[in-house]
Structure 1
Amino acid sequence: MLMACGGTGGERVLPPRYLTTAGALAVANLDGRIAQQAEAAGIEELLLLRARFLGDYNALDRASVLAERRFDTGLALLRRARTRSAVHHFADALADVDAAERAGADAEECGALRASILVATGHAGEAVPLLEAGVARHPGFASRSALAGAYAALGRLAEADRLYVAALADLDTTSPFPYAWIYFARGTMWAEQGGDTARGEALYAQALTHLPGFVMAGIHLAECEVARGDLSSAMARLDRLATSSNEPEALALLGELHVRTGEPERGRRELSRARQRFEALLSKHPLAFADHAALFYLGPGADAERAWVLAQQNLAGRQTDRAVALAVEAARATGRHQEARALVSASPRPTAGAPLPR
């Protein structure tokens, strides 16, 4: 029986209609499908799923390469748009969506993907009417969770949470992936936007109940553990994640904690590995990793000038509150106070200078 972890009004989440597949088995099944499909059309979607949940950036590379080869049909253009969106080539992705629609791709799919890109690039207000219309036409998991993401981007957290809960109730699958994603999205919303770390921690833990190998949920849970002083649990968790995925954020936080807890040499080695890993990822997909790398360089990476360059790259591609706040912080860290004031003044919303997540 699944219960909502800290919903806005103590909302009860109905139990899933089916017992979800164990996380390890679900990953093994995913890998089996990837192996079976080889380079067949549609494998890009499976590779993106692996990258999103397991921090497998080799899968992201492969999906991107394959998608760039196939764009002869509306469906292929939609797949390329999703892949381009995943690496934050948002303008190119939108162009693909438009081309896919002209080529006869499903209008609902095109509209949903277009709206998701609008949300990702800081135009959630434009996406909301499209997404609300989608919920009215086809209420269900996909439409409700997409609208919830747009509401969250606009700071409408209570409404977003109710929609996320409703989306969970709509699920009709044994796959743990969508359950894990919704709990992670809710956790991120409450911990980072709502300032409710305890609620976020409970939701991250619920995501990991469904999918123990979910890398970003594990990192965010470790950050919550650090915030309440449980460093030993956080470090054990991060050590497992760094070993299994070579995820630079896990390495960076683990290195910080080792420096803080009396193992400076080990910590510095881990921070060096994190830096190397970020730079390797930036060399392939600079826009996809610019924001996280900028945060690293503002913190333990100790290179504010590098952070400023990356924050500007990130802001050029999307004008979200978080992107503006990151650029403002990088400007201030490098003594560019005039640029920081200009960024805040140009932001359409007063939250532009809000504190960033770690």
Structure 2
Amino acid sequence: MTEAALLDSECFQTTDGDIAVVNLNSARLRSWSRFYQDPQRSGVAETVLEQEQLTAQFASDLSALGRMEAFGEQLGRLDASSPRTLVIQAQIASALHRFSDARHYLAQASLGGAPSADVKRVLLNVDQACGSHLEEVLDGRRRIVANSGRFEDRVTLGALLADLGEFDAADEAYRRALREYQDVSPFPVAWVSFQLGMLWGELVPEPQLARAEHWYRKAIASLPCYVRARVHLAEICSATGRTSEAEATLRPALANGDPEASWRLANVLKAEGRDDEAAEQLETARSGFEGFLNSHLLAFADHGAEFYAGSGNDPSRALELAQINLKNRPTVRAFQQTHAIALAAGETDAAAEILIAAKKRWGSIASSRLSSVAHDSPESREGAAA
């Protein structure tokens, strides 16, 4: 099969992306209404959380993070000792990258008699996000896929394989999930297409930008409001001299208030010599990042670090945020980001300590990935840490 045929082998008939977002918002409001009418009703709290997570991830409505946090607090007031409440609170904490809190909630839920399968499912997500016990997580993910064959299980397995440097296996896991997808929702298709774009554009040792661009475009075709896909596609367009196309890609993303879209647009405008417009967008991005860092520090520390290491032009702030993120989730990518930022900031002793710690935790994976960026500036890598 040719490369072009390989890339186009997955075709879908899904709901129009804009209509799907409208439908999601309507369903979300109905679920909140049902929750207020009967908070103890079976499944209603879980549905509220699932829909808020979808809203944050795909509709790029970052106010959903605040709603999730308030929702967890509300559940705690209703029945703090309930195992069901504790599992949901663990899911919320994990979504906000408060992984230590998530582990605490899961331990309490387990002691309180929560179903072990529910606890293990959330704990797998936490361990994978933090780069902890990954061989055990890998075994668990493979067992789950063998038993369920579900789309989301294949995608999370693919993400783990990518983290472990098994890129071809990750590609196969993602693509099999797409081949076997049977639903009409555009959200899963956009999600795995974005993951494939990240895999080939940012995670492999030698990025394949044309291949990554294909997948980012597929994600946007499925879901036009998918800000993360627009940001990454715009970076490729900009890097390959297509600044007008990069600007056109980013403009529709500004309405969502995601500071990353304003930041990337500022870079594009500056490259075009439109300095006043670039400065305005950069200030919007700075204000946005600071707002989210104040309210959800752990969820935005890695993105904030990239911003201040690059266009934000504050190396010490960048290193501070990168170290916060690294302490919270010591993944290979977190080590890679912090090491590069420390080098760029002239903190060679800190960079050396980070490299030692990375090799101790990750071995040969860390050696190859950190050495590959040792001579790169953060400005050239903006957006590399997802």
TM-score (norm 2): 0.85
Q: Quick one: distance in 1 between partners of 2:118 and 2:310?
A: 40
Q: Which residue of 1 aligns with 2:166?
A: 156
Evaluate the alpha carbon distance shift between residue 298 and residue 247 of structure 1 in structure 2; reply closer, same or farther with a 3 A threshold: same
Shift of 1:257: 1.6
User: Does residue 129 of structure 1 match 2:139?
Assistant: yes
SS at match of 2:173: helix
The answer as to 2:297 corresponding to 1:286 is yes
Q: Tell me, in whole angstroms, the C-alpha distance in 2 between the residues paired with 1:344 and 1:137.
A: 39
Change in Cα spacing, 1:250 to 1:33, as seen in structure 2 (3 Å) is same
Q: Which amino acid aligns with 1:204?
A: Y
1:6–1:316: structure 2 CA closer, same or farther, 3 Å change rule?
farther
CA contact (8 A) 1:249 1:274 kept: yes
Change (3 A) 1:265 1:324: same
**Cα shift readout 1:93-115 (whole Å, capped 9, x = no counterpart):** 12323333444444444323222
Deviation at residue 317 of structure 1 after TM alignment: 0.2
> What does residue 88 of structure 1 align with?
97
Task: Give the corresponding residue for 1:67.
Answer: 72
Question: What's the secondary structure of 1:88's corresponding residue?
Answer: coil
Partner of 2:338: 327
Distance in 1 of aligned mates of 2:290 and 2:9: 41
User: Would you say how many aligned residue pairs link Structure 1 and Structure 2?
Assistant: 351
Worse-matched range after superposition: 265-274 or 65-74: 65-74
CA distance in 2, matches of 1:141, 1:108: 18
Offset at residue 213 of structure 1 (A): 0.8
Q: Is the CA contact (8 Å cut-off) linking 1:112 and 1:131 kept in structure 2?
A: no
Cα distance in 2 between the residues matched to 1:184 and 1:74: 34
Structure 1 CA distance, aligned partners of 2:2 and 2:116? 33
Q: Which residue of 1 aligns with 2:353?
A: 342
More deviation in 293-302 or 160-169?
160-169
Aligned residue identity for 1:58: S
SS of corresponding position for 1:300? coil
User: 2: CA distance between counterparts of 1:125 and 1:354?
Assistant: 24
Q: Distance in 1 between matches of 2:2 and 2:108?
A: 40
1:171 aligns with 2:181: yes
Q: Which amino acid counterpart does residue 329 of structure 1 have in structure 2?
A: A
Whether the 8 Å contact between 1:13 and 1:168 is mirrored in structure 2 is no
Which residue of 2 is the match for residue 143 of structure 1? Answer: 153
Structure 2 residue 47 is the aligned partner of structure 1 residue 48? no
Partners in 2 of 1:135 and 1:4 — Cα distance?
A: 29
Distance verdict in 2 for CA 1:214–1:5, change over 3 Å? farther
1:112 aligns with 121
Task: Map 1:173-322 to 2 at 5 A.
Answer: 173-194=183-204, 195-242=207-254, 244-322=255-333
Q: Do 1:5 and 1:199's aligned partners in 2 also have CA atoms closer than 8 Å?
A: no
**Sequence identity, in percent?**
33
Contact 2:14/2:184 (8 A) holds in 1: yes
1:75 to partner: Cα distance: 3.2
- Would you say the 8 A contact 1:252–1:270 is kept in 2? yes
Which amino acid in structure 1 is aligned with residue 18 of structure 2? A
Aligned-partner residue type, residue 79 of structure 1: I
| Deviation at residue 357 of structure 1 after TM alignment | 5.0
| Corresponding residue SS for 2:216 | helix
Query: Residue 334 of structure 1: CA displacement?
Result: 2.4
How far the C-alpha of 1:118 sits from its partner, in A, is 1.3
Gaps of 5+ in 2: 36-44, 374-380
- Residue in 1 that maps onto 2:41: none
Gaps of 5+ in 1: none
Please say which of residues 153-162 and 327-336 is displaced more in the overlay.
Answer: 327-336
Counterparts of 1:198 and 1:147, CA distance in 2: 24
Distance 1:216 1:80 in 2: 26
Distance change >3 Å, CA 191–CA 336, structure 1 → 2 = same
**CA shift at 1:137, angstroms?**
2.2
1:140, distance to aligned residue in structure 2 (A): 2.3
**CA–CA separation in structure 1 for the residues paired with 2:326 and 2:95:** 16
Measured in 1, the distance between the counterparts of 2:300 and 2:260 equals 11
Give the conservation status (yes or no) of the 8 Å contact 1:225–1:231: yes
Maintained 8 Å contact 2:310/2:382 = no
Q: Deviations over 1:216-248 (max 9, x none)?
A: 011111111112211101112212211x21211
1-structure distance, mates of 2:173, 2:7: 11
User: How many Å separate the matches in 2 of 1:198 and 1:89?
Assistant: 36
SS at match of 1:70: helix
Deviation per CA, 1:14-55, whole angstroms, max 9, x where unpaired? 544xx3111111111111012212262231221111111122
Equivalence for 2:42: none
Relative to structure 1, the CA distance from residue 98 to residue 217 in structure 2 (aligned partners, 3 Å threshold; closer, same or farther) is same
Q: Specify whether residues 236 and 14 from structure 1 end up closer, same or farther in structure 2 by C-alpha distance, changes over 3 A only.
A: closer
Could you say which residue in structure 1 is the equivalent of 2:370? 352
Give how far 1:214 is off: 0.7
In structure 2, relative to structure 1, the CA distance for the partners of 1:128 and 1:12 (3 Å cut) is: farther
Rounded to whole Å, the distance in 2 between the matches of 1:11 and 1:258 is 32
Q: 1:34 aligns with which of 28, 35, 40?
A: 28
Q: 1:49-106, CA deviations, whole angstroms, 9 ceiling, x for partnerless residues?
A: 1111122111111111112321543333232222111111012112323333444444
| Contact kept? 2:307, 2:382, Cα under 8 Å | no
What amino acid is the match of 1:34? R
Instruction: Give yes or no for contact 1:5–1:202 (8 Å, CA) kept in 2.
Output: no
